[in-house]
Chains A and B, each alone.
Chain A
């Protein structure tokens, strides 16, 4: 089978790419290993809601039409939204088609699937950044008798032993799991490394509204001093609960979550060792949040919005006990389960084109894989702009990337394409 563009993955990125390819009259297929929105369906916990408000999921030619624009979608609602998009735009999705390998062929690319071979001039990888859990090496030293699971395997507190739980990682996932598991009555210890603290609501507006309105989410990747660092920044410590409550460390402490430093090791006696850097990672997060709020206040003043908004305010510094524990004996029975909320990484095991760096990430320039012309990647953190990994970022990135792709096709073989067109017209 031959097509002009193969898009791998039918999540928000792949579907937005499909919409734009159709606009540009570029023949294509979207290959999906499972069903549309597969990761949302199978690899997230039951109570998860999107961290962005309903109004903010704007896909090309499609947006929220309900009566709760400020609410946060549940997973079934998110799945329905993305499935609805696939239908609305009549995306040429071939479901239940797993890509086995992608390699360069004699003319373009060869995409081998478990349901046949596709040949294409171009390939857009839209499989996302969150395919495999990133489990720290220290996991091997967890004493027998303690259950361990990755956040992607967590569904709800009922699947856990009633005893104590250590959640490792305090970004969006770890903070939400610590909150939910603690509220189920279990004792929770939260190991906290570098994190990004933000309030859900500031001056009466959602933090995502502020980041959108001030242009922060549209900041382009090529205007950032240190894009490598920006692409690796932890996810915002946020939840999308209907009551809009915060899940920052002070909120978690208030419900009885015990904060400890980053899990630095587990020694030969089975004692977990926590970093003594907890105070500093909290100081960094507090300072960074206040810089963001300063920038928001400056923007609001410049726009003359102060009269219609609540007055500016600042949050309590993160409260840390005088001497947080540095050791926790895992053999004493106080911890029955360890949940790794230590991030995800992409899976490119099927990609047989040498474009990966030493850490297994695709080398790209704003989604354009320059080392392999005609190859593109989408949906990664800060791919082209700060919102690139949000549903709301898929449209703008897809427009830019398909524009580059169209130009590449035009430069590649303008004569051939003219012949094809006249043949089709004859």
Chain B
């Protein structure tokens, strides 16, 4: 459902034509749609580690980012750590935030909605007795995630809500959060 009239072109910096073209092409060639995402990690010291991402596989070939991205992770001082980076669970929250926000921009572009500003705050509860092994009935992970968006855009409040809902529907990280995933960890 298009909300804005086509008086002035909407530009959220998303190349919707390319995305729609890719969807069409990949529907006909599902093998090219098979991607492999990768990360590697080096332990530094204590709870401090450095992860890097660069290569991934997709469109039938090895691909590379324009540069290697590094993520430092550690635990805060209240955990008796040196706090040299975000905690891994915060990186995961950042991943959810970025994924949903990219989706908001893409869906807005597709629906002809000009965005002026998009901010979100995320909060996830956790009972750390789980990771400490203090109570086996407490799960290790989040007991829930709350995301609050503030969006300024040329659209009605319901159309903005629909943007955010559609973004969740199409988000990889939202899916990873909300549905189980098999994880296989091996030692070589």
Contacts and interface: CB of A to CB of B under 8 A. Distances in A.
B143 interface: yes
A157 interface: no
A358 interface: yes
Contact of A291 (B1, B174, B178): B1
A282 to B, nearest CB: 9
B20 to A, nearest CB: 10
Contacts of B175: 277
B77 interface: no
B158 A261 contact: no
Interface stretch (B34-42, B57-65, B127-135, B159-167): B159-167
Interface string A288-316: 00110000000000000000000000000
A290 B1 CA distance: 13
Contacts of B166: 284
Contacts of B158: 287, 290-291
Contact of A280 (B168, B179, B180): B168
A280 B1 contact: no
26 contacts: A261-B178, A262-B179, A264-B179, A265-B179, A265-B180, A273-B180, A275-B178, A275-B179, A276-B177, A276-B178, A276-B179, A277-B178, A277-B179, A280-B165, A280-B174, A283-B161, A284-B162, A284-B165, A284-B166, A284-B169, A287-B158, A287-B161, A287-B162, A291-B158, A323-B143, A323-B144
* 7 nearest A-B pairs in the assembled complex, by CB-CB distance: A276-B178, A264-B179, A280-B168, A277-B178, A284-B165, A283-B165, A287-B162
B30 A277 contact: no
Interface in B143-171: 143-144, 158, 161-162, 165-166, 168-169
A194 B165 CA distance: 12
Contacts of B162: 284, 287, 291
Nearest to A322: B144
A290 B159 CA distance: 11
Nearest to A276: B178
Contacts of A290: 158
Interface string A334-371: 00000000000000000000000010000000000000
Contacts of B165: 280, 283-284, 287
Chain A contact residues: helix, strand, loop or mixed: mixed
B181 to A, nearest CB: 9
Interface string A267-281: 100000101110010
Contacts of A283: 161, 165
Interface of A: 194, 261-262, 264-265, 267, 273, 275-277, 280, 283-284, 287, 290-291, 323, 358
Interface string B1-20: 10000000000000000000
Contacts of B144: 323
- Size class of B's contact patch? 10 to 19
A231 to B, nearest CB: 14
B168 A277 contact: yes
A416 to B, nearest CB: 38
A318 B72 CA distance: 41
B127 to A, nearest CB: 13
B56 to A, nearest CB: 25
A134 B144 CA distance: 32
A273 B177 CA distance: 13
A277 B174 contact: yes
A95 B98 CA distance: 60
A265 B1 CA distance: 33
Contacts of B180: 264-265, 267, 273
Contacts of B143: 323
A180 to B, nearest CB: 29
Contacts of A275: 178-179
Contacts of A358: 30
A259 to B, nearest CB: 15
A358 to B, nearest CB: 7
A277 B143 CA distance: 14
A229 B161 CA distance: 21
Contacts of A277: 168, 174-175, 178-179
Contacts of B177: 276
A256 B89 CA distance: 37
A265 B162 CA distance: 28
Given A280-B168, A358-B30, 14 more contacts: A194-B169, A262-B179, A265-B179, A273-B179, A275-B179, A276-B179, A277-B168, A277-B174, A280-B169, A284-B165, A284-B169, A287-B158, A287-B161, A291-B158
A265 B168 CA distance: 20
Contacts of A265: 179-180
Contacts of A291: 1, 158, 162
A275 B179 CA distance: 5
A378 B143 CA distance: 49
A251 B92 CA distance: 37
A197 to B, nearest CB: 13
B108 to A, nearest CB: 15
A277 B1 CA distance: 23
B15 to A, nearest CB: 18
Contacts of A284: 162, 165-166, 169
